[in-house]
Amino acid sequence: MRIEPRRQTLEVWQAVAEFSRRDRDHEVPWRWGGRDGRNSISDAEQILCLMYPAAEISQFRLDNPDEIADDVLEALSAIGDSREIPQLLVDVLTEYMISYTSDSKTPVFAGSGYFRARDEGTELTEAQRGLDVVDSFATSISLTLATLGFLKVFRPLVRRPELKDRIKHLEAMTSTRLSAAMIGLLRSFSVNVFKAGDSQGQLLLRTLRQDERQTDREVLDELRDRLKPVRASLRDATLGISTKELLDKLEDDNMMFECGFSWGIVRGAPIIDTPDPVGEQPDGVALNAPYLYFTVVAIDGIVELFSERSRVLGLLNAGQQRLAQALQLRWDLTMGYWSAIARAGAGRWPLENIPWRTTDNEESDYFSLLVTAVVIQELLTRRATDDDLTRTVEVLEELAIRGRVNRRILRDGDPAVALHSPGVRLELTGGNTLGPPMCWQVADFSALLLKRALRAAGLSRNISARDRLLAIAEDALEHMSRRRIPHGPASGLWDTTEELLGTSVADDHLPSWYMTERMIECHVMATRAVSQPPVISRQLITTAVDLLGEAEHLFSQYQLEVPDRPGSRMHDILLRIDAGLIRAREVLRTKPGTSIAITQRVLGDLDELAVAQQRAARSR
């Protein structure tokens, strides 16, 4: 399947519009809910299916009625015309912000229907369903930034006082939710310190040791050297962390640690002072240890805060900028830690030894993909060597094979199917203090593989690595295209696995906004990848220079030997050749392939002139 992000995004937009549109008799003509019912995450994902591309890609803008593209209007015709669409978005976003704000004016980030009971036959308590979760914090950051950017452009175009007031109210609620989400992520950051001799320490040492001849002490010494910058920087990460006991432990070089984000607000996380009216800051119950899945979700949300768009539009107030700086520090620490862990050692990386095993003795190909996601981001951020990038691409290629993304599924009991349906189960330790054991089901292996391959392809300047990454992305896109719902009101949305994987889920006629929004993110990544300038090959430039040199020399010879007669057909051909040579020279360094194509046409024209000249000479 070819990656055609504009067409594919508009197809999804049309499906979202047709499913979400209610008849006009409703006060807000929008249909909420999907496979997992309504909650703070699912509803945000549903709106983000429209808001995220509109915020990130200029061709999909919805904030200026006069500049909405014709094909965008056609795709969204089910929800209105160029004037109705922005106003509808204001209504829908307002309803969302009100729905997920408590009576005490506290933004709500509960996981609700996304939480699961670990054991069959048990039901979660209302207190458990109401627990805040990192997925909601991160999704809210993306939604609120997209909303603030949308309103910043749309508000000056509004003339009606009533609509202006609604926009002002929506901006205030959105800004409050953004601050609360940032505080939630800060209070979910975890630094787990343990002894090398503990079970966690032994498991981490076993993961890192790729040479069985190495002793624990050798592995520990090497790890300590690699993590010195991270360990030192943790002393500056005081906001949202109980620091005294942590610093005391980190002073001991024999102690090991891991950092990242837990599944929710960690137990004992302190209250964070903020000038914004964020309401109550609930006590945390989550295990004070990082979860790979929630760590990747968090770093994806945090990176939106310091994007170019957020800076240019000035979306953060002074208090939020302080919170963003604290989150960026945690982002840097997390990226540095996991990249160092994954690439430890002088020989084979621990990352290359699939599957990845966590310090709680769980292992899965999905965990390898999560660690790879962090490593790729870190490598591309610091412009890593070609060797580092190539080795990481090889891991993605193997994961695509192991996950049967680009291979046929075995007929009898293929274990890879469980990666996609029902997915990997994560036990939410700490939630059981309020009821039965809780878990979180993640089934986005293929979508995550697609997203990471596209992100890396968009940033990579290595031609070979980029081609291989795009091949992985095309395979993953083909896999996911076969999981779109084929019939019914949710036609064109995700996710059904019956045809491809031979499995079924409850309510598979309803959309999974969890999966649909992730595919929208992939289309945005694909658009960014396609929008990048082509990767320049030095070999191609050398060829282009050689061809152009020959063409210019032959043209000069022809001009020297044959008189130019203005008005003649020959004169027009010479003008065309001259223009071609000028254009080939202009694009030689930026588009050497194009320069070669132009030069080849010029050489063909010159050869025709030479042949015609020879024939004329023989006929005399």
What CA–CA distances, in Å, run from 333 to 273, 290, 301?
22, 13, 15
The predicted pLDDT at position 244 comes to 66
Q: How far is CA 122 from the centre of its chain?
A: 35
Measured distance CA(307)–CA(303) in Å, rounded = 6
Q: Which amino acid is at 596?
A: I
pTM comes to 0.89
CA 54 to chain centroid, in Å, comes to: 15
* Parallel/antiparallel/unpaired status of strands 116-117 and 438-442: antiparallel
Q: What DSSP state is assigned to residue 554?
A: H
Element (H, E) at 567: none
Question: Using N-to-C axis directions, what is the helix angle for 84-99 and 40-56, rounded to 10°?
Answer: 150
Helix 538-561 with 569-586: angle, nearest 10 deg: 150
CB neighbour class for 420 (10 Å; exposed up to 12, middle 13-18, buried from 19): buried
Could you say which residues of the chain have pLDDT below 50? none
Candidates 1.50.10, 2.30.30, 1.10.1660, 1.10.472; correct CATH number of 5-272+282-531?
A: 1.50.10
Q: What pLDDT, on the 0 to 100 scale, is given for residue 237? A: 67
SS3 257: strand
Dihedral angle at the C-alpha atoms of 16, 60, 49, 495, nearest 10 degrees? 60
Task: Classify 190 as helix, strand or coil.
Answer: strand
Give the pLDDT confidence score for residue 272 in this predicted structure.
Answer: 93
Strand partners, 256: 194
Where are the domain boundaries for CATH 1.50.10 in the chain?
A: 5-272+282-531
Q: Can you give the pLDDT at residue 51?
A: 97
Q: First and final CA of the chain: distance in angstroms?
A: 59
The pLDDT assigned to 585 comes to 93
- What would you measure as the largest C-alpha separation in the chain, in angstroms? 104
Distances in whole angstroms, Cα of residue 476 to Cα of each of 192, 303, 318, 454, 517:
35, 24, 41, 10, 16
pLDDT of residue 527: 92
**440 strand-pairing partners:** 426
